[in-house]
């Protein structure tokens, strides 16, 4: 702290890598199931694949929430500032912006596209459900899948990057032999 750079000071943080990897894996599974379900829809298949997506979404949401709680805790410890949103977690976790006042830090430009892709996916899912026995069902199923793939890719990138940035502030652990 005295005479060294800000990154010379280590902070005891929660290790969010395991929950981050689990969240990314489950998010990828939900996206893959969405693709499989849409391909099945194109072939006139049943909607049972949609049920599988619902079953996978719940654990993906729970694990993502657990990761976010840990990442938020870490971001507050790093920034010594109230942190509640993904943009704030990014700002607090970015070591490149450590010497910039918190309110002047920039969040990742990929956060808004991720949020919009996720909202578009949910909207398409609702329309898909309302149009179940119509020709437009497959259109909205396809749009939902495209949005799900975009949202999943962006979410996985953001989780990975935030976890990696926070790790730079963590207390170094001794290697066990």
Residues whose CB falls within 8 Å of the CB of residue 169, separated by 6 or more in sequence, listed in order: 7, 10, 11, 13, 74, 78, 93, 95
pLDDT at 70: 97
Burial label for 39, CB within 10 Å (0-12, 13-18, 19+), is: middle
DSSP letter, residue 11: B
Q: Does position 4 have pLDDT exceeding 50, yes or no?
A: no
pLDDT tens across 72-115, in order?
Answer: 999 999 998 899 999 999 999 999 999 999 999 999 999 999 99
Distance CA(168)–CA(35), nearest Å, equals 35
| Cα separation, 32 vs 37, whole angstroms | 9
Q: Domain limits of the chain?
A: 11-167
The proportion of the chain whose per-residue pLDDT surpasses 90, expressed as a percent, equals: 63
Q: Please give the C-alpha separations between residue 27 and each of 48, 56, 70, 116, 118, in angstroms, as whole numbers.
A: 19, 8, 18, 16, 12
CA–CA distance, 72 with 163 (Å, rounded to integer): 11
pLDDT at 108: 98
pLDDT at residue 177, as a whole number = 60
Question: pLDDT grade, residue 9 (50/70/90)?
Answer: low
Confidence category of residue 55, pLDDT binned at 50, 70, 90: confident
Residue 43: the pLDDT is 78
- pLDDT band, residue 125 (cuts 50/70/90): confident
Query: What confidence score (pLDDT) does residue 48 get?
Result: 62
60 vs 3, higher pLDDT: 60
Per-residue pLDDT at 171 exceeds 80: no
């Amino acid at each position: 702290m005295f005479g060294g750079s800000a990154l010379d000071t280590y902070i005891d943080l929660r290790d969010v890598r395991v929950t981050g990897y689990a969240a990314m894996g489950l998010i990828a599974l939900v996206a893959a199931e969405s693709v499989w379900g849409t391909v099945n829809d194109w072939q006139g298949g049943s909607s049972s694949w949609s049920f599988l997506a619902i079953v996978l979404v719940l654990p993906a949401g729970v694990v993502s929430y657990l990761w976010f709680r840990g990442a938020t805790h870490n971001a507050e410890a790093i920034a010594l500032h109230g942190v509640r949103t993904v943009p704030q977690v990014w700002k607090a976790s970015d070591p490149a912006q450590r010497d910039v006042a918190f309110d002047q830090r920039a969040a990742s430009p990929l956060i808004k596209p991720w949020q919009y892709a996720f909202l578009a996916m949910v909207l398409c899912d609702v329309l898909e459900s309302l149009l179940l026995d119509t020709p437009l069902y497959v259109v909205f199923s396809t749009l939902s899948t495209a949005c799900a793939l975009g949202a999943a890719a962006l979410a996985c990138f953001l989780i990975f990057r935030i976890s990696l940035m926070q790790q730079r502030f963590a207390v170094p652990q001794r290697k066990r032999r």
